[in-house]
Structure 1
Amino acid sequence: MTTVTTKQISTARGCVLGLVLGDAIGAVGAEVPSAGPLSATTGAQLACFTIEGVIRAHVRATHRGICHPPSVVWHAYTRWAVMQGIPGFKPRQKENWPDGWLAQVPVLAARRGSAPATVTALQNRTMGEIDKPAGDSIGAHALTRVLPVGLTAEWVPEPARLAAEIAATTHAGEAVHAAALSAAIIAGIAKGQGIEEAVQQSQWESMSFLKQPVESPVAAAVEAARSQPRQAMRLAQLVPDARAAAVLAGGVYVALCFPGRDQIRDALLFAASCGNGSGSHVAAVAGALLGAAHGADALPVGWVSRLELAWVADVLARDLIAEFVDQPSGTEYTPGDDPHWGDRYPGW
């Protein structure tokens, strides 16, 4: 019988907590207050719903034998929209919907910035695909929300493709490619590769399902980290705006410039200092990469203990691994050992 390993849990917790922590540090522009909660932004909220959607998709697949995971994750984003009070979305009382445990988390209903491309796609009721995008946005939310998909590499044959398909539900073009790259990098780290090795490997892995060649946004980041490390001006050049490709380049640059276990605090502050509204995105990417590489215990305790979404992120990370390894709700043919799992993660 396969059991969850300490390494799997540490990598998953580090990745998700690192993402959410980077998002929060970036939101305050590296001016971290000495006390009080560290709040999440829309990016961290959507990442939480992505993980929940992936778990629910696997529950559906194991119980019904068939599933289209991007559609289940799209449904997760719809629940987020209902909780946010976005026009066009209302709860359905008779069906007790939104369902699942995330719908009971108050902070996920708090408005923490905007996600215009995601909201527009949801309001139009049009779910995009890689070859048929619903819009033309190439913004960073397509990237940051799918980073944890790479954690499924041991069980999902092509996590980069899954990440791309999820990103494509609301975004297009180079944002979809950046999403695939990011998941491939996380997948490499989860398999035991160093950050630079995982970055290098991802550049060809993520291209396998893209019909048109796309220039890798991380090649310049790798070279910059070698020749011009820890330079704010170089980071600004890599991240001139909040495009997903630029943000991925910035996050990779930061992670490669601060690779050590004891450098995560400095890495997040450096990433968060990135201007033009990209700080939370760049720090989220760097936090996810470094957290996955070093584990949750390497994250700054003083910050994590004040992190608004810490408990939510930690539970989701653990449950993601538990679902794929232990299948707590059972399968179509075998009973599970957690009678409440299906209520927490309904398979739809």
Structure 2
Amino acid sequence: MALGQNSGISCRDRVRGCLLGGALGDALGAGVEFLSLDEIRRVHGPAGVRGLTAAYGVDAPITDDTQMTLFTAEGLIRASVRGRSKGICHRPTVLWRAYQRWLATQEHPGPPSDTDSDGWLAGQPLLYARRAPGNACLSGLRMPRMGTPARPANPTSKGCGAVMRSAPFGLLPTSPEAAWTLAAECAVLTHGHPSGYLAAAAFAWIINVVADGHTLVAAVESALGRLASERDGGEVAAALRTALAVAADGAPTPERVEFLGAGWVAEEALAIAVHCAAAAPADPWAALLAAVNHSGDSDSTGAICGNIVGTMLGEGALPTDRLAELEGHTLVRQIADDFVLEMSGAPEISDSWGEATPAWFDRYPGT
């Protein structure tokens, strides 16, 4: 797969769109994550949230959803750097270390003085904000051993914490199957229930196919074909089928969204995001608003929906005025641009042997 090869949207526009769209949906839902729909309407009016609001004492804040997505992207960059500079790389282990760096941001008030030795992302003060991180993410990453498909962390957990961080796997210049496999292997670092890791895998597959220029409906239908080969894939498949069926009924409404669930668990979060994006395919702002105005995990459903619509339509389709309000938008763009540089094999970050230049290796140590 070559990102965006089947459309006029550039690779960088899709990657930026995916990460910025996710951050925008995250921020839209942050202030209403724990409110019922009735409470949302009571606070924000009958139409619910219509624009970015404050939460955690910050205007338009990103939460753990965006934080972990950025560390996923950083981990994939570092895995690629390691692979071409060291000649060998076990990518789930590199991602485990990336998530350990995220865990450290949740356990310390700010970056330690020696973060320069471990790449630049861990030195960003913004990422040390603690904004309701998921219990399974925290407990899984605190385990003394890394979860694996054979011995997954939290084998009964199917919360949406693995799904909401998995979009970057789909942005890799690889096949949908490879994106699926890596997303599943990295989901079990924290979420071991089949619906938890298969929803993350299906999400990566969908992003990969959409990034190649195909429609969202085609991407979901192909993911359903892949799920059919999984013994435990029925729950995720049923949720996705329902999401498409409800989207065919017309524009997304809170009532249609709530028919799909609350989004606290993986298959519901993915279904809500897919439904909103599919029901408003040409209007990313309408899709994002629909994805957060419901009783449930609004920031996660908003983030996943934002990843989808941003990949579909590119950064240029997202509202520029809203992006300018978004906390950390410059940081998100930087990670997106660095991801594109590394995955495209840009000559400015490579020496004559194809290995990372010293400056790039310092920025993304291959460990």
> If the length of structure 2 is used for normalisation, what is the TM-score?
0.85
Unaligned segments of structure 1, at least 5 residues: none
1:143 partner letter: V
Aligned residues of 2:117 and 2:362 also touching (Cα < 8 A): no
Partner of 1:284: 303
1:151 and 2:151 are equivalent in the alignment? no
Match of 1:303 among 309, 318, 322: 322
1:134 and 2:153 are equivalent in the alignment? yes
Aligned residues of 1:91 and 1:97 also touching (Cα < 8 A): no
1:284 partner letter: A
Distance in 1, Cα, partners of 2:338 & 2:27: 22
Match of 2:18 among 15, 18, 32: 15
Match of 1:234 among 256, 264, 278: 256
Aligned residues of 2:170 and 2:204 also touching (Cα < 8 A): yes
Partner of 1:175: 196
Moved more, 198-207 or 28-37: 28-37
Could you tell me how far 1:67 is from its partner in structure 2?
1.0
Aligned residues of 1:49 and 1:80 also touching (Cα < 8 A): yes
Distance in 2, Cα, partners of 1:151 & 1:44: 16
Could you tell me how far 1:174 is from its partner in structure 2?
0.3
Q: Using a 3 Å threshold, how does the CA distance of structure 1 residues 308 and 115 change in structure 2: closer, same or farther?
A: same
Q: What aligned pairs does 1:1-348 form with structure 2 within 5 A after superposition?
A: 7-29=10-32, 30=49, 32-33=51-52, 37-85=59-107, 93=114, 99-135=118-154, 136-154=156-174, 158-172=178-192, 173-205=194-226, 210=230, 212-215=232-235, 216=237, 217-227=239-249, 229-260=251-282, 263-276=283-296, 278-326=297-345, 329-330=349-350, 333-336=353-356, 338-348=357-367
Q: Using a 3 Å threshold, how does the CA distance of structure 1 residues 150 and 116 change in structure 2: closer, same or farther?
A: same
Distance in 2, Cα, partners of 1:157 & 1:170: 21
Q: 1:100-150 deviations in whole A, cap 9, x for unaligned?
A: 111221110111112211111122223212232111211111101011210
2:196 partner letter: A
Figure out how many residues of one structure are paired with residues of the other and give that number. 339
Moved more, 290-299 or 307-316: 307-316
Could you tell me how far 1:84 is from its partner in structure 2?
2.1
Distance in 2, Cα, partners of 1:171 & 1:293: 27
Q: Using a 3 Å threshold, how does the CA distance of structure 1 residues 244 and 212 change in structure 2: closer, same or farther?
A: closer
1:8 partner letter: C
Could you tell me how far 1:347 is from its partner in structure 2?
0.5
Aligned residues of 1:4 and 1:322 also touching (Cα < 8 A): no
Q: Using a 3 Å threshold, how does the CA distance of structure 1 residues 332 and 138 change in structure 2: closer, same or farther?
A: farther
Q: Using a 3 Å threshold, how does the CA distance of structure 1 residues 310 and 347 change in structure 2: closer, same or farther?
A: same
Identity %: 33
Distance in 1, Cα, partners of 2:50 & 2:3: 42
Aligned residues of 1:17 and 1:296 also touching (Cα < 8 A): yes
Q: Using a 3 Å threshold, how does the CA distance of structure 1 residues 31 and 113 change in structure 2: closer, same or farther?
A: farther
1:137 partner letter: S
Distance in 2, Cα, partners of 1:71 & 1:44: 21
Unaligned segments of structure 2, at least 5 residues: 33-48
Aligned residues of 2:71 and 2:102 also touching (Cα < 8 A): yes
Moved more, 149-158 or 212-221: 149-158
Q: Using a 3 Å threshold, how does the CA distance of structure 1 residues 341 and 187 change in structure 2: closer, same or farther?
A: same
Q: Using a 3 Å threshold, how does the CA distance of structure 1 residues 187 and 166 change in structure 2: closer, same or farther?
A: same
Aligned residues of 2:84 and 2:354 also touching (Cα < 8 A): no
Aligned residues of 1:159 and 1:187 also touching (Cα < 8 A): yes
1:312 partner letter: L
Aligned residues of 2:4 and 2:14 also touching (Cα < 8 A): no
